[in-house]
Amino acid sequence: MSTHQITFAIQGMFCAKCVVTLEQALTRLDGVIAAHVNYATERATVMFTPSRVSLATLVSAVQHEGFQVPIERIILNVDHLLYTSSPNTVERVLSRIAGVVQAKAEIPNQQIILDVLSSPEQVGDYEGALAKLGLSATQQPASHTARNFFVRTLLIFVLALLSLFSAGAHVGLIQASLLHAPLLVIAVSVLVAYVIGWPFFHLAYDAALQGEFDPGVLLALAVFVSLSGGLALVVISPTKSLTDSGFLVAILLSTGWFAMRSITISGVKRNILLPILAGSLAILAMLGFYLGILTVLQSPSHALEQLSIDIVWVGLVALGFGAQIGLYTHLRLLVHAAKLAGATAVTGAGTGTSTLGMVACCAHHLSDLAPLVALTGASSLYGAISFFNEWKYAFIALGLAMNVVGIVVTTRTIRKHKAHLSIMARQPLEPAPACH
């Protein structure tokens, strides 16, 4: 492991005992090899392993003992920060620079805030580290960067809708007389979306070169692989389902990332955004489960036709399940998992009964297979199919009821823990005792 030595000033020492207290506090940290505090110069020299302990931890240890470390704040305007794969990656890379105590990437403000040691000679080249990530600081923030980002997001979203429409026409799910070459339309749409979103993919590539593989980088890699696979299938063997899948995965992932970043820029809080996203995905998962069953039993076109008939029951089950998952996600953001036993159990029960409700919606299609199942001799499976068909609405009602119970229980738990957190926030913190 590589070691690093740093020297920084300490304010507030009044006696020799302070030196002993500080040296003991620093050497107790895991990763600190040696620490020497000079009372005369009011400076500390620490040798440590950066991979095990950070400069921020060293400073916190000093502050915990009642002393201060002089820190200077630097604010950098970075226009393309909107397109970076992850603000955590930027913060992590900058925090490795010598003399940087803390780095904060504020995506909505297009700024990076650095807390560095007040001694300039102890601070490394943070601008060079930014350049390796494909970013650069400017004197003044550009006034139209956010607007341009929203325009790109809107264009990619429109192209995603066109791609979905073209894919449906290509596989024969919908009639599209205007699209004489639907495969060409979807291919061009995805390529144009890739060009529009190029700043994101370029920065993700730079982050990968630095050994950073955050979710944004992995998403960009998945987009590239899906797009390349779709283009390869067009040339080699234009299989409809596989070709369309490659293109659709590429553009839907791109649209999802730009939509999420646009919501972040707009200022929507994480504890609101993630529950909405989780609930929406749960609704789509339930609808996909329903369509998947009917597609296997009949055909995709029949599945869509049957969805229009069962939309009331299917929609109620899916919406109830999505609401429960969204609330449960919000609860997990508030409290530790150990305190979620009751809500977790109810959510699990809601998941099972919602799934049974969706199966019950398809019960009359399952009953079409009953004679074939009977011929195979699987009498237990034959009985299960008949049971689902007979108690269809009972299972749907059970699924809805469990979702209601889950929503009520989770909502009450959220209210209790919000009240607890509010009480804790009003309690004053006791200052750490100093040695003087």
CA distances to 89, 142, 153 from 145, in Å: 21, 6, 12
pLDDT at 327 over 80: no
Q: For residue range 44-65, what is the model confidence (pLDDT) as tens digits?
A: 999 999 888 989 999 999 999 9
71-142 classified as CATH 3.30.930.10? no
Same fold, 1-69 and 71-142: yes
pLDDT recorded at residue 284: 83
* 112 pLDDT tier (thresholds 50, 70, 90): very high
How many CB atoms sit inside 10 A of residue 222's CB? 14
pLDDT at 119 over 50: yes
pLDDT at 300 over 80: no
Six token digits for residue 265: 């820029």
> Which range is least confidently modeled, 131-140, 165-174, 375-384?
375-384
Domain boundaries, the chain: 1-69, 71-142, 144-268, 269-427
pLDDT at 193 over 90: yes
Dihedral sign of CA atoms 24, 26, 27, 33 in order? negative
Sole residue written with tokens 């987009």: 223
- Average the pLDDT over 110-126 and give the result: 84
pLDDT recorded at residue 28: 92
Residue 33: which of 66, 71, 2, 63 has the closest Cα?
A: 2
Q: For residue range 350-359, what is the model confidence (pLDDT) as tens digits?
A: 454 445 444 4
- Most distant pair of Cα atoms in the chain: their distance: 94
Residue 53: which of 72, 35, 39, 73 has the closest Cα?
A: 35
Q: What CA–CA distance (Å, rounded) separates 14 from 36?
A: 16
pLDDT recorded at residue 59: 92
* 277 pLDDT tier (thresholds 50, 70, 90): confident
Strands 71-77 and 43-48: unpaired
CATH of domain 1-69: 3.30.70.100
Of the ranges 184-193, 233-242, 311-320, the best mean pLDDT one: 184-193
* 346 pLDDT tier (thresholds 50, 70, 90): very low
* 98 pLDDT tier (thresholds 50, 70, 90): confident
CA distances to 43, 47, 160, 226 from 35, in Å: 11, 6, 57, 52
pLDDT recorded at residue 29: 93
Of the ranges 32-41, 116-125, 341-350, the best mean pLDDT one: 32-41
* 217 pLDDT tier (thresholds 50, 70, 90): very high
Of the ranges 218-227, 305-314, 384-393, the best mean pLDDT one: 218-227
* 335 pLDDT tier (thresholds 50, 70, 90): low
pLDDT at 129 over 50: yes
Q: What CA–CA distance (Å, rounded) separates 43 from 19?
A: 10
Q: Are 78 and 139 in contact (CB under 8 A)?
A: no
pLDDT recorded at residue 324: 77
Average pLDDT along the chain: 78
> Which range is least confidently modeled, 17-26, 217-226, 339-348?
339-348
pLDDT at 22 over 60: yes
Q: Are 424 and 367 in contact (CB under 8 A)?
A: no
Sole residue written with tokens 């390869």: 232
Share of the chain above pLDDT 70, in %: 72
Dihedral sign of CA atoms 295, 298, 299, 300 in order? negative
